[in-house]
């Protein structure tokens, strides 16, 4: 055994270089559900923050109990009837999942739940493959 103190970062470097074991149900997808807060086609009516919070606490937590990220944002979309781009407050739910059919059903349940609640014309779902890990 050496009396020379070991570089504390060398342990971290070694751990980072060690591959993780293959885990069943590995997280291989990231999905973002983009949801506008404007109610239907009424530019003067926005879903209140308390209603968004209630939706997240019931529907989103119920669908993704292992975790998700909530991003408050703003966005725009083109109204096909008028050709005008409409800006509105929005939020995004980002979730990492295994890409299974069950996960896809949960994503659709959240998107359709919001579409119905806020009377949205559409809710955008963006999905991409990912290699998710936790360190």
| Mean pLDDT, rounded, of the chain | 86
Residue with tokens 């299974």: 100
- For residue 115, pLDDT over 70 is answered with yes
pLDDT at residue 92, as a whole number:
98
- Residue 64: give its domain's CATH number: 3.30.70.1130
CA-CA distance, 59 to 69, in Å (whole number)? 14
CB atoms within 10 A of CB 125: 16
- For residue 58, pLDDT over 60 is answered with yes
Q: Mean per-residue pLDDT for 21-39?
A: 83
Tokens describing residue 78 = 């083109």
Q: Where are the alpha helices (DSSP H) in the chain?
A: 8-17, 49-55, 61-63, 101-117
Range(s) of the domain holding residue 103: 26-75+86-129
Residue 68 belongs to some domain of the structure: yes
């Amino acid at each position: 055994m050496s009396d020379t103190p070991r570089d504390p970062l060398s342990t971290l470097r070694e751990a980072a270089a060690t591959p993780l074991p293959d885990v069943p149900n590995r997280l291989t997808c990231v999905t973002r559900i983009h949801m506008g807060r404007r109610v239907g086609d009424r530019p003067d009516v926005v879903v209140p923050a308390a209603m968004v919070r209630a939706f997240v606490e019931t529907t989103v937590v119920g669908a993704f109990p292992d975790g998700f990220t909530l991003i408050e944002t703003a966005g725009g979309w083109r109204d096909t009837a008028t050709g005008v781009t409409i800006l509105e407050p929005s939020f995004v739910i980002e979730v990492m999942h295994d890409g299974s059919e069950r996960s896809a059903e949960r994503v659709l349940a959240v998107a359709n739940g919001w579409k119905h609640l806020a009377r949205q014309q559409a809710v955008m779902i963006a999905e991409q493959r990912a290699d998710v890990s936790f360190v």
